[in-house]
Chains A and B, each alone.
Chain A
Amino acid sequence: MLRLHYNLEKLSMGLVVAIIIVASIGGAVEIAPLFTIDETVEIPDDLRPHTPLELAGREIYLREGCYACHSQMVRHLADEIDRYGPYSLAAESAWDHPMLWGSKRTGPDIARLGGKYSDAWHVAHLIDPRAVVPASIMPAYPWLTATLDTKNLSAELATLARLGVPYGEALIANAARDALAQSRPESDGADGVRERYGEGVAVRAFDGDPARLTEMDALVAYLQSLGTLTAAARDTVGQEMGQ
C-alpha cells in the first residue's frame, strides 16, 4: 500500500482522480437513495402549496434571516412533542424550496406556530417583541409595514412549478390578485383564493388593515400557515398515541 501511495503522490492527476472518487462515495450512498426510494416522502392527499401571500411572507422570512434563530422541525422526542406539538414529517416540507428546518433555537421552534396566537399578537410582536414578551431578545421589525411588492409573484410561482410544486396555470396567472384578495375577505377575489387553495385557507386582513397590502400581511399569513398545510402530522401522531 505504501509503495502504491509512493507512486501515486508523484502524479498530480492521479491524486485528483483518487480524491474525487474517495470523496464521492459517502455523498452518493446517502443522498442518491433519498430520490429513488418512494417511501422517503409520501405526499399526503390534503397537502396544499403555499398561497402567493404566504410565499411572499416566506421570502420575507428568508430575507430577514429568521431561520438563523427559529427551527421548523419538531424532533421525534417526548419533550419536543409536548412543547411544540406533533413531530415533523418529511412530507410537510416536500414542496419547500428551500427547506427551513433550521439548525439553532435562539427562539422557539415554529413548525406548529399556525393558529397558536392571534394575528394582532403577531403584528404587535413583530413591531416590538418586548411589548408582548418582556424577556424576548428578538429584534424588532418596524419596517414590515411597507407595502408588499407583488409584481414578481406570478414568475415565482411559475419557477416553483417548474421545480415540481403543483402550481397550475390558474394559480400562476392569478398570483398577484390572490395575494391581494387573501388579505381582503370582503373583496370579490376572496372566493377565488378559497377555490384555488382550499376552504381551509385563512382569508383575513392579517395586519388589521384591509385597505393596504403590506409585508406584515404576508409574513403573518405565512406564520399562521405553519403546520396547517396538511393534517398528516397530527393524524400520524394521534394514531401513535391511540395505540
Chain B
Amino acid sequence: MIRGLSLPERQWALALSVALALLGLAMAAAARQGPMAVHGGMALALGLGLIFAVGGALYDGDAPADRAGRYYDDPTRFGIVMTLIWAVIGMGVGVWVAALLYWPEATPLWPWTSFGRLRPVHTTGVIFGFGGNALIATSFHVLQRTSRARLADALSPWVVLIGFNLFCAWAVTGYLMGSTQSKEYAEAEWYADLWLVVVWLIYFALYLRTLARRNEPHIYVANWYYLAFILVVAMLHIVNNLALPVSLAGTKSFTIWAGVQDAMVQWWYGHNAVAFFLTAGFLGMLYYFLPVRSGRPIWSYRLSIVSFWGIVFFYIWVGSHHLHYTALPYWVQTLGMTFSVMLLVPSWASAGNAIATLNGAWHKVRDDATLRFMFVAAVFYGLSTFEGSFLAIRPVNSLSHYTDWTVGHVHSGTLGWVAMIIFGAIYTLVPQYSGRAEMAWPRAVEWHFWLAVSGTLIYVVSLWNAGITQGLMWRAYDQNGALSYSFIDSVRAMAPYYLLRTLGGALFLGGAILCALNTRATMRAAPQGVVTGDHPLAPQPAE
C-alpha cells in the first residue's frame, strides 16, 4: 500500500495520520465519557496505527517509476476486502436479529446486543459498510478505465476509504452504546455525520479531478450514475442530518426538523438513499461490469440517457409514499404516489437495457456464474422496482405499510439486486487484480450463486406471505362489525415466516462467507500472469 506512494505523498499521509490522532485525542478529552469518548479513542488508535505504518515505511524506496503509466488499483483491492468484511458483519447481524424475532428468549440480558440496538447495526453494516465500500471501490476502477486515466492522486483514495470506514465503525459502535439519532438509515450522531461530509467532499473532488484528466471526449454512462450517487447522497445526507448538538463535548443532538416536516425530510432522505445509494451507484456498476463481462456493448445508448435523467428526476418525488394516510398533507402523498408509478418507466428502461445487452451472450450467462450474478441482479432490479411502484399506490399501501411486506420488498432489492451486482463485480475484479484467469475456487462461485438465489427467494417469498397475512388480519372484521383478531394473534401467525426468513438469510450469509474466503484465497494465490482485456491507459505526461 504505502510503497505505491511517492515521498511527498507519504509525508502528507503522515501529517494526516497525526491530525487524525489529535482529533481523536481532542474528542476523547472533551467528552471524557460516553460514546464520543470511545469514538475519540478509536480515531486515536487508528491515527497512531497509521503513523506507525506510514512512518515505518517513509524512506522505503520511492514509488515505482512507471506508476504514472498504470491504473491505481490498490485502493480498490482494499475496498473489496472491506466490502466483504462488512458483508459478513452486516449480514451476520441481520441473520441474528431475524432469529431473535423467532426466539426472543435468546436475547442476552445485557443492553448492547438488544434487538433495537442491533437492527441499525445490520442496516448500516449492509447499506454503508457493504454497499458503500463496494460503490467507492468499484467507482475508482470504473472511473479510471472509462476515462483511460489514472486516479488524480494516490493519497486521496485512501483518505476516502479509510475515512468512510471510520464513519461506519463509529456509527455501528455508537448504536451498541445506545447513541442514535433514530432517523432510519441515518442513525449516526452529529460528529460522525460531519466527518462523512468531509470524506465525501474529498471523494467528489477526486472524482472530478480524475474526470478532468480523461482521455475520452465523452463521459461514460457509468460515471453519470456514480456522479449522481456522490452528489445527491451529499445533498440528502446534509439536509436530513441538520442537527443541534446539546453540547460540543457530548454525543446527544436534536434534529432541527420536527413532526410532519421531519417525517417528510426523513422519507425524502430515506427513499432517496434507496434511489441514489442503492440504485444509482449500482446502476453505474451494472453499466460497466455487465458489458465488460458479457463482451457486449450496452444495447441502447438513447435508452440509457432517458432512464438516467428519468431516475434522477422522478425518484426525488417519491419519498412521501412512505406516509400514506398519515398526517402528511394529502396532496404530497398523491404526488409521491404518482411519481412512484411514473418511476417504473425509467426503472424498467434500465433493467430492459441491461437484459437486452445480454442478447447474443446467453450461452455465457449459462456457463459463467459471475455473469449470471449480474443477470439475476438486473432481473431482480426490474422485479423490485415494479413491486415498489405497486406498493406506493395508496390503497395497496394501506394493506402493505407497517407490515413485513415492506421488509420483503427491501430485501428483494438489496439481496436480489444490490448484493448480486456487487458479487458479480467482485468476481470480475479479484481475478483480474490477482493476475489470474479465474477465482481460486471456481466451483465455489457456482455454489455461492445458488445459495444467494435460493436464500433471496426463500426470504422474499416468506415475507410476502407474512406481510399480506398481517395486513389482512389487522383489517379483518367479523359479522358483528368488531375486529376479528387482536394484534398478538397476528404476531403469533408470523412465527413460521420469521423462521423461514432466518433460513433464507442464513443461506445468503453462507454464500457471502464463501465469497470472502474465495477472495482471500485468490488474492493470496500466485499470479498466473494473466492480463485480462483491460482498457489500455492513455499515455500519461510525467508527474
Question: A26–B313 contact, CB under 8 A?
Answer: yes
Is B469 an interface residue, CB under 8 A from the partner? Answer: no
Interface string of A131-160 (1 = CB under 8 A from B): 001011111111100000000100110011
Is A186 an interface residue, CB under 8 A from the partner? Answer: no
Question: A99–B116 contact, CB under 8 A?
Answer: no
B257: contacting residue among A79, A97, A109, CB under 8 A: A97
Question: A30–B332 contact, CB under 8 A?
Answer: yes
Which A residues are closer than 8 A to B by beta carbons? 2, 5-6, 9-10, 12-13, 15-16, 19-20, 22-27, 29-31, 34-35, 37, 40-41, 59, 62-69, 71, 73, 75-77, 79-80, 82-83, 87-109, 129-130, 133, 135-143, 152, 155-156, 159-160, 162-165
Interface string of B399-433 (1 = CB under 8 A from A): 00111101100000000000000000000000000
Please name all residues of chain A whose beta carbon is closer than 8 Å to the beta carbon of B470 when the two chains form the complex: 105
Question: A96–B235 contact, CB under 8 A?
Answer: no
Bound-state CA distance A217–B10 (Å) is 55
Count residues of chain B with CB under 8 A from any CB of chain A.
Answer: 99
Residues 298-342 of B at the A interface (beta carbon under 8 Å): 302, 305, 309, 312-320, 322-329, 332, 335-336, 339
A64: contacting residue among B178, B184, B339, B403, CB under 8 A: B178
- What 8 pairs across the A-B complex have the smallest Cβ distances? A65-B116, A26-B316, A26-B317, A75-B325, A63-B178, A90-B327, A105-B402, A93-B259
Quick one: closest B residue to A11, CB to CB? B219
Question: A10–B107 contact, CB under 8 A?
Answer: no
Which B residues are closer than 8 A to A by beta carbons? 100-102, 104-105, 107, 109-111, 114-117, 119-120, 175, 178-184, 208, 211-212, 217-219, 224, 227-228, 231-232, 235, 239, 244-247, 250, 252-266, 268, 276, 302, 305, 309, 312-320, 322-329, 332, 335-336, 339, 398, 401-404, 406-407, 470, 474-475, 477, 483, 487-488, 491-492, 494
Bound-state CA distance A131–B116 (Å) is 20
Please name all residues of chain A whose beta carbon is closer than 8 Å to the beta carbon of B246 when the two chains form the complex: 152, 155-156, 159
Query: Taking the nearest CB of chain A, how far is it from the CB of B229, in angstroms?
Result: 10
Bound-state CA distance A94–B276 (Å) is 29
Instruction: Choose among A89, A99, A141 the residue with the greatest number of B CB atoms under 10 Å from its CB.
Output: A99
Question: B313–A65 contact, CB under 8 A?
Answer: no
Question: B232–A23 contact, CB under 8 A?
Answer: yes
Please name all residues of chain A whose beta carbon is closer than 8 Å to the beta carbon of B309 when the two chains form the complex: 22
Instruction: Choose among B120, B244, B259 the residue with the greatest number of A CB atoms under 10 Å from its CB.
Output: B259
Question: B252–A99 contact, CB under 8 A?
Answer: no
Question: B312–A23 contact, CB under 8 A?
Answer: yes
Q: List 23 A-B contacts (CB under 8 A).
A: A12-B208, A16-B208, A16-B231, A26-B316, A30-B319, A40-B260, A64-B111, A65-B116, A83-B474, A87-B327, A93-B263, A93-B327, A94-B259, A98-B255, A99-B257, A99-B258, A99-B259, A99-B266, A106-B491, A130-B105, A140-B109, A143-B110, A156-B246
Given contacts A82-B483, A99-B263, 20 further A-B contacts (CB under 8 A): A2-B305, A16-B231, A20-B231, A29-B317, A30-B264, A34-B329, A63-B178, A63-B180, A65-B120, A68-B119, A77-B325, A93-B260, A93-B263, A93-B327, A97-B257, A99-B258, A99-B262, A105-B403, A139-B104, A163-B244
Please name all residues of chain B whose beta carbon is closer than 8 Å to the beta carbon of A97 when the two chains form the complex: 254-258, 262
Please name all residues of chain B whose beta carbon is closer than 8 Å to the beta carbon of A136 when the two chains form the complex: 104, 488, 491
Question: B264–A31 contact, CB under 8 A?
Answer: yes
Please name all residues of chain B whose beta carbon is closer than 8 Å to the beta carbon of A104 when the two chains form the complex: 402-403, 406-407
Please name all residues of chain A whose beta carbon is closer than 8 Å to the beta carbon of B494 when the two chains form the complex: 137
User: With A34-B329, A66-B116, A68-B116 in contact, do A27 and B268 touch (Cβ < 8 Å)?
Assistant: yes
Question: B260–A79 contact, CB under 8 A?
Answer: no
Please name all residues of chain B whose beta carbon is closer than 8 Å to the beta carbon of A94 when the two chains form the complex: 258-260
Please name all residues of chain A whose beta carbon is closer than 8 Å to the beta carbon of B254 when the two chains form the complex: 97-98, 156, 159-160, 163
Question: A103–B322 contact, CB under 8 A?
Answer: yes
Quick one: closest B residue to A12, CB to CB? B211
Question: B208–A64 contact, CB under 8 A?
Answer: no
Question: A15–B227 contact, CB under 8 A?
Answer: yes
Dominant secondary structure at the B interface: helix
Bound-state CA distance A96–B262 (Å) is 9
Query: Taking the nearest CB of chain A, how far is it from the CB of B158, in angstroms?
Result: 23
Quick one: closest A residue to B184, CB to CB? A103
Quick one: closest B residue to A106, CB to CB? B101
Please name all residues of chain B whose beta carbon is closer than 8 Å to the beta carbon of A59 when the two chains form the complex: 252
User: With A77-B325, A159-B254 in contact, do A19 and B227 touch (Cβ < 8 Å)?
Assistant: yes
Quick one: closest B residue to A64, CB to CB? B116
Please name all residues of chain A whose beta carbon is closer than 8 Å to the beta carbon of B339 when the two chains form the complex: 26
Question: A90–B260 contact, CB under 8 A?
Answer: yes
Please name all residues of chain A whose beta carbon is closer than 8 Å to the beta carbon of B312 when the two chains form the complex: 19, 22-23
Bound-state CA distance A30–B483 (Å) is 36
Please name all residues of chain B whose beta carbon is closer than 8 Å to the beta carbon of A101 when the two chains form the complex: 263, 323, 326
Bound-state CA distance A97–B265 (Å) is 12
Query: Taking the nearest CB of chain A, how far is it from the CB of B221, in angstroms?
Result: 8
Question: B483–A25 contact, CB under 8 A?
Answer: no
Query: Taking the nearest CB of chain A, how far is it from the CB of B398, in angstroms?
Result: 6
Question: B260–A41 contact, CB under 8 A?
Answer: yes
Query: Taking the nearest CB of chain B, how far is it from the CB of A125, in angstroms?
Result: 12
Quick one: closest A residue to B481, CB to CB? A82
A93: contacting residue among B228, B258, B475, CB under 8 A: B258
Please name all residues of chain A whose beta carbon is closer than 8 Å to the beta carbon of B183 when the two chains form the complex: 98
Please name all residues of chain A whose beta carbon is closer than 8 Å to the beta carbon of B253 when the two chains form the complex: 159
User: With A79-B483, A104-B406, A137-B491 in contact, do A9 and B181 touch (Cβ < 8 Å)?
Assistant: no
Quick one: closest A residue to B220, CB to CB? A9
Question: A98–B329 contact, CB under 8 A?
Answer: no
User: With A40-B329, A83-B487 in contact, do A2 and B107 touch (Cβ < 8 Å)?
Assistant: no
Bound-state CA distance A63–B404 (Å) is 23
Quick one: closest A residue to B267, CB to CB? A103
Quick one: closest A residue to B121, CB to CB? A65
Please name all residues of chain A whose beta carbon is closer than 8 Å to the beta carbon of B492 when the two chains form the complex: 135
Instruction: Choose among B105, B224, B246 the residue with the greatest number of A CB atoms under 10 Å from its CB.
Output: B246
Bound-state CA distance A100–B266 (Å) is 11
